[in-house]
Structure 1
């Protein structure tokens, strides 16, 4: 089901809960790659890690990845309306721009403003999602303050695989997809495609016009082994159209395109593994025919090169060293005004070069991990980030871990050059501390407690000393400070055929200058998942209870409770029917002030696999 280990957060991996994948399997740990950039078993991880595996993805019947994430401990989702609308993810109270999103290890966050387009990623393309909480800038660079979400696309698990599915649900949801893949000893390849359409519902609560969403996604890959070298090329692409309403409730629409193309060559010797990754990422939004100004657009094009080396020459010492180069170009127009770094240029270029080093070693029952990175950024110069972690067993049932970390977020080109732009901006800097304790008296029962404290300095905020009344407009400044303190308590158990996973988040996300609660983040969130296999079939319950949140204008958003029911019915050897009753209580709630959310609805899918 999910792997979640509440333990120290601030560095690279935690004491993860073992996943519950099926009724007749033990709770075995996943193999993780995001926490330390090298494959490790979950019981070696030190910071908090969540793994959403393929079984949980299929059980959810979710329309996008954001819906999968919102039921995971420590992750809060805000959405400006229905499917396809702007979506934000907050990890442990940090800003949404402090969440780094990767697809197959490649950063897809846009270089302009805002977070990655989670609403455009279809779960059908995803094998698993690894989430590491706390700063990971020492390994991944900018944005990795709250945590890292690594979306790993599907590959082949057998010699030959064929699959197809159709889905339907409330708000005119309909979709279909197919996939084919093969994996041999030296060669593998696969391709999958899916299309989703929904009529949606009104964006605003005081509007009556349904706003729809279209998304067509393709994922293709090929892998070949050439002696000691393995080469893989992959391409993921999502494109479509999102209808929405502007602040005046007028109907608008925009076309989107998200692409990630990657080539990876890996060589493995006895004590040295080396991997070179070259990737290109495109994030493009263009206003459609209904828009106020159809010439408006925003575009990010990024080329990345990463060379990673895992060195195990010294027994007991694991070293990872690498170089990372990024060349990024952003461009855009908003209400006819270009996003630009020079008058008339209409684009902004940013370079980021970095070197990173990580060391992990064990002394008896104690495990240590230290990582550091120096990043040279064309916008502001150099910045150093690091992580330090320690963990140990306390007898046969208890374990403890602790971590410290420093992260950063580089100012986006919208911060630097759009309205209020300030080319002199410095990066936002975080400092985090984590302490985690786990008690596991039996393989099928586990309690975990994590305490965390994060301070973020030099947050970029718009400032106008004249309050919009002076002759000159204000500009963005590094004047904000935030502090997030909290605790996570998790319980995972297998009670006969029942599997239970519950997590409670208690946090204080506050503005250090004013003491106000940070926007769209609750102080209390409870999640629970219960699964009951019935032979080859399955029943499940999913629950999310969120406390009161604050929005712009000091508006208070009421707390809410969501309950979903899910069922799986095996129709013979190759056919599976899945159904989900979402928002069983028909809760009327808001994630963003004035915007609609989905009511009670039934969603179903029929899948064929061979």
Structure 2
């Protein structure tokens, strides 16, 4: 299947490339701020037809956490939650997607997909925050370029190029509830060869009972420039995480003691390893070829005693992602991009009825082959930069079920996406943009196939891929370096969204939904020593037909506001108070809105860091998160009997640490 469809998309890509083979000239860039996600290559942020928020390395170092979800939590329009109470399993959602919203956000590391084919979230502790150069958050769909997952947004985590910053780095911190972490990294360069190694350890007993988590991770990278025209990079990561799962509490239990555990014996552990590389070659003036390859593996043990489910999961992924970029001059500068994405995912599951795993009850072997080809062109029309792109993709899933009476089989789904955009810049002071396009998402493999036992193992061939239309327009302006503001308005019409039906005990396609909203960001330099950054996202997500017409989409907060003040104090000190205010939402599973509201919450934190003059390259910090000890839950569900359950979030937590660069 892969060979057949790969040949087809390659023929289309090569044909269009030859059409573009005319004398070309290079592109100029007027800004130092670069993003790569919106166009799969370096593009000036103001030229992207999307609402983009870039978290710089300086901002990341201003946060006290060892994980990236805490930094993303401070971005309006990005919602972060965790039912296990640890950063390793945090789920990140965007644009009003609630249940399993992380499946509608594409997470990339240096442009390489980190999303897994099943419903498990990204292991955020596998990548230490100290290794990150910046995080690019693109709000809105990018299905035409990336395909699966890229419906609510794209998050690209950009690490430092090996050898870019030679030297030794040491980070360590300790905090409340047994929190401790340490990181060491070393990077060097020798001529055209750069390299880096790093390692990190994280441990916490957790705020709630049964939320302990421990993780160890390591990585290595290498970069080599064969010439001025050919460069290469390769990275490898390995990690292990072990964590307890506290389970939910009823509202009465949470009011009595929010720190107690609802499930006393649930836990999980996983080993991860991955490697990826890219070769970049300038084939001619204005023509570049990028070839990316990747491989990953996850071995996981799930012990869910509360469900009498004990499973061993083995998952492997292979990827090949070549693309060709051509910048041509046909009166005006035009850029053409053609590429192919090939993914092969293998997932094997064995499940048992007791933790000793002495008697296998069943299992499944799932193989998914995904092949997609995409094309995009951008050119200048008067003062406007206009672009159009499209993607075709086929996903084939084959399931072999081993439980008695289980029915395996194969499912093939064909999808397509397209978008049209326009951007108008007014010098360096303002820009406007508009974008419209078709989006889609394939079902997770464990949405398409049930393999949990209890007589329900089967392939759901009637489960369709999610499809929709996105409409977006925005404006952004800046006043020198003193003030910068942006506003985006959007609407996303979806059909066949997938959600769990607790009565039928299976995943089903839902009725049509519409999401309308706005996202705004502002950064103001109040004085030489004080900067204010604030963001606001308003969301109206509702069903537009069927029995739930007019009802709110569950777990989609109506608003989120973030405020952060950065104050430079004498003596090398810096104080960063912040506020995150999230509005109310409907409980998960409450499609008829028959239950009450999951309350909103407001979390205030304060972070102070100091760079001692006698300790060059070092920084000490102290912080208080949720300093007012707000009691809240970012996740809650209603069961089939109408009982409301919540997962209480951590209360007040203190941290202190030391970061050194030599």
TM-score category by the smaller chain? 0.7 to 0.9
Matched, 1:544 2:558: no
1:400 to 421, 432, 444: 432
1:386 to 401, 412, 418: 418
Matched, 1:117 2:123: yes
- Aligned equivalents of 2:655 and 2:290: distance in 1? 42
1:427 to 465, 480, 485: 465
Normalised to the residue count of structure 2, the TM-score between the two structures is 0.81
* Match of residue 218 from structure 2: 218
Structure 2: gaps (5+ residues) = 1-29, 249-261, 355-360, 397-410, 451-455, 637-645
1:267 to 281, 294, 299: 281
- Aligned equivalents of 2:423 and 2:551: distance in 1? 35
Give the 3 Å change call, closer, same or farther, for CA 52–394 of structure 1 in structure 2: closer
**CA RMSD in angstroms, aligned pairs only:** 2.5
From the CA coordinates, give the structure whose radius of gyration is larger: 2
Instruction: State the 1:299 CA deviation.
Output: 3.4
- Aligned equivalents of 2:499 and 2:599: distance in 1? 26
CA contact (8 A) 2:125 2:215 kept: no
1:374 to 368, 383, 392: 392
Matched, 1:283 2:286: no
- Aligned equivalents of 1:185 and 1:371: distance in 2? 40
Instruction: State the 1:178 CA deviation.
Output: 0.6
Matches within 5 A, 1:39-58: 39-58=42-61
Instruction: State the 1:305 CA deviation.
Output: 0.2
Instruction: State the 1:161 CA deviation.
Output: 1.2
Matched, 1:436 2:474: yes
* Match of residue 600 from structure 2: 559
- Aligned equivalents of 2:133 and 2:508: distance in 1? 41
1:320 to 330, 337, 360: 337
Matched, 1:409 2:441: yes
Give the 3 Å change call, closer, same or farther, for CA 305–432 of structure 1 in structure 2: same
- Aligned equivalents of 2:45 and 2:176: distance in 1? 38
2:70 to 67, 71, 80: 67
2:635 to 592, 596, 599: 592
1:142 to 137, 148, 160: 148
1:198-236 per-residue CA deviation (whole Å, 9 max, x = no partner) reads 11122xxxxxx3431001111210111112322221112
Instruction: State the 1:381 CA deviation.
Output: 3.1
1:536-557 per-residue CA deviation (whole Å, 9 max, x = no partner) reads 4321121111111211353422
Instruction: State the 1:398 CA deviation.
Output: 3.9
- Aligned equivalents of 1:164 and 1:175: distance in 2? 11
* Match of residue 486 from structure 1: 517
Corresponding residue SS for 1:415: helix
Q: Point out the more displaced range, 455-464 or 231-240.
A: 455-464
* Match of residue 407 from structure 2: none
- Aligned equivalents of 1:488 and 1:386: distance in 2? 23
Instruction: State the 1:285 CA deviation.
Output: 2.4
Instruction: State the 1:179 CA deviation.
Output: 0.5
Instruction: State the 1:150 CA deviation.
Output: 1.3
Q: Point out the more displaced range, 432-441 or 85-94.
A: 85-94
CA contact (8 A) 1:66 1:119 kept: no
Aligned residues: 566
Normalised to the residue count of structure 1, the TM-score between the two structures is 0.87
CA contact (8 A) 1:223 1:231 kept: yes
* Match of residue 17 from structure 1: none
Matched, 1:189 2:227: no
Give the 3 Å change call, closer, same or farther, for CA 455–236 of structure 1 in structure 2: same
CA contact (8 A) 1:463 1:477 kept: yes
* Match of residue 250 from structure 1: 264
* Match of residue 639 from structure 2: none
Q: Point out the more displaced range, 577-586 or 282-291.
A: 282-291
Give the 3 Å change call, closer, same or farther, for CA 395–303 of structure 1 in structure 2: closer
Corresponding residue SS for 1:591: strand
- Aligned equivalents of 1:189 and 1:347: distance in 2? 38
CA contact (8 A) 1:108 1:260 kept: no
Give the 3 Å change call, closer, same or farther, for CA 176–439 of structure 1 in structure 2: closer
Give the 3 Å change call, closer, same or farther, for CA 150–259 of structure 1 in structure 2: farther
- Aligned equivalents of 2:413 and 2:497: distance in 1? 17
- Aligned equivalents of 1:180 and 1:32: distance in 2? 26
Corresponding residue SS for 1:265: strand
CA contact (8 A) 1:520 1:549 kept: yes
Q: Point out the more displaced range, 404-413 or 375-384.
A: 375-384
1:98 to 104, 112, 128: 104
CA contact (8 A) 1:238 1:257 kept: yes
Corresponding residue SS for 1:480: coil
Give the 3 Å change call, closer, same or farther, for CA 555–108 of structure 1 in structure 2: farther
Q: Point out the more displaced range, 187-196 or 29-38.
A: 29-38
Instruction: State the 1:390 CA deviation.
Output: 0.5
Instruction: State the 1:110 CA deviation.
Output: 1.7
* Match of residue 177 from structure 1: 183
Corresponding residue SS for 2:177: coil
Q: Point out the more displaced range, 270-279 or 344-353.
A: 344-353
- Aligned equivalents of 1:124 and 1:448: distance in 2? 28
Give the 3 Å change call, closer, same or farther, for CA 325–193 of structure 1 in structure 2: same
Corresponding residue SS for 1:380: strand
Instruction: State the 1:388 CA deviation.
Output: 1.3
- Aligned equivalents of 1:528 and 1:608: distance in 2? 28
Give the 3 Å change call, closer, same or farther, for CA 345–200 of structure 1 in structure 2: closer
